[in-house]
Amino acid sequence: MSAATCVWDLKAALGEGPIWHGDALWFVDIKGHKIHRYSLDGQTTSIDAPEQVTFLAPLPDRDGFVVGLKSGLHRYHQALGFKPLITVEDPALNNRPNDATVDAAGRLWFGTMHDGEATKSGSLYRMDASGVARMDKDICITNGPCVSPDGKTFYHTDTLEKIVWAYDLAEDGTLSNKRPFVNVKLGDDVYPDGTVVDSQGHLWIALWGGFGVIRVSPEGELVARIELPAPNVTKVCFGGPDLNVLFFTTARKGLSDETLAQYPLAGGLFAVQVDVAGQPQYEVRLV
């Protein structure tokens, strides 16, 4: 496997949430209040968000997204801007949405987390045409919701506890049989961040503080690791026409001036071609 290269040295404070939609990669800089678009020919676009922006999930109309903002979920359209969709939680909690995914049925799964990363006030939610339902709770930093290729296993990460949980996912969207899938024990300051499942059912887990990502089999065994010249890797995404380009978002948040000088590409967008394809990016269906 070739080494990952930095394809956009944008020095994001907290790059996150990459998705492949249409013919481009979309992702956010949460603390920079930006939505970014990157195409394989190197063209880039950046869009200002009105507050912290945490994830993007495509809607069936060509240029529309459900977007996580600090204040709740919004619709975003390139021609119309941001329109409030739903307030998820009481603002007094000082929570914000974090990572998200869309399953094959068009259901949006997303977590909330304490913005100060201090209390277990976060929850896991499912949104579909019937509304929003809380599926799990008492989590400080929610991350990495993703689904197996057969649609029967749901994964969710409790970052501070360093556990990726697995659940049985029923056709109606209910979760059951919560169980530890993998404990990420790679060092005191290494935490599992965003995850994605490839077409073979393996999880790719980004490592905050771990300079890369790991690939874990459906049985929970570590089978591969990719190193990056950036300490804080936040999420992984498959993209490109054949879904075999692996993209990585990274962050400069929390790094000292000395560390940033040593790893100047921290906060960049990285990519590498791999020999396995990802799953398609599904669209949110609210009707």
| 222 occurs within a structural domain | yes
Give me the active site residues, please: 193
Q: Using CA atoms, how far apart are residues 15 and 252, in angstroms rounded to an integer? A: 8
Q: What is the pLDDT of residue 63?
A: 73
Q: What is the pLDDT of residue 1?
A: 61
What is the residue type of 161? Answer: E
* HEC secondary structure over 198-216: ECCCCEEEEEECCCEEEEE
User: Could you report how far apart the first and last alpha carbons of the chain are, in Å?
Assistant: 42
- Note down pLDDT in tens along the chain; length 287 residues: 678 999 999 999 999 999 999 999 999 999 999 999 999 999 999 999 999 999 999 999 777 999 999 999 999 998 889 999 999 999 999 999 999 999 999 999 999 999 999 999 999 999 999 999 999 999 999 999 999 999 999 999 999 999 999 999 999 999 999 999 999 999 899 999 999 999 999 999 999 999 999 999 999 999 999 999 999 999 999 999 999 999 999 999 999 999 999 999 999 999 999 999 999 999 999 88
| 284 occurs within a structural domain | no
| 163 occurs within a structural domain | yes
| 278 occurs within a structural domain | no
* HEC secondary structure over 93-147: HCEEEEEEEECCCCCEEEEEEECCCCCCCEEEEEEECCEEEEEEEEECCEEEEEE
Q: What is the pLDDT of residue 287?
A: 80
φ/ψ of residue 116, rounded to 5 = -90, 0
Q: Give residues with Cβ within 8 angstroms of 164, minimum separation 6.
A: 144, 155, 156, 157, 180, 181, 182, 184, 192, 195, 203, 205, 216
| 282 occurs within a structural domain | no
Q: What is the pLDDT of residue 230?
A: 97
Structural domain including 224 reads 5-273
| 281 occurs within a structural domain | no
Q: What is the pLDDT of residue 66?
A: 96
Residues of the chain by 3-state class (helix, strand, coil), percent to 5: 5, 55, 40
Q: What stretch of H or E contains 38?
A: strand 34-39
Q: Using CA atoms, how far apart are residues 238 and 1, in angstroms rounded to an integer? A: 15
| 103 occurs within a structural domain | yes
| 285 occurs within a structural domain | no
Question: The tokens 């969709």 sit on which residue?
Answer: 85
Look at the chain and report how many structural domains it folds into.
1
* Residue 39, domain CATH: 2.120.10.30
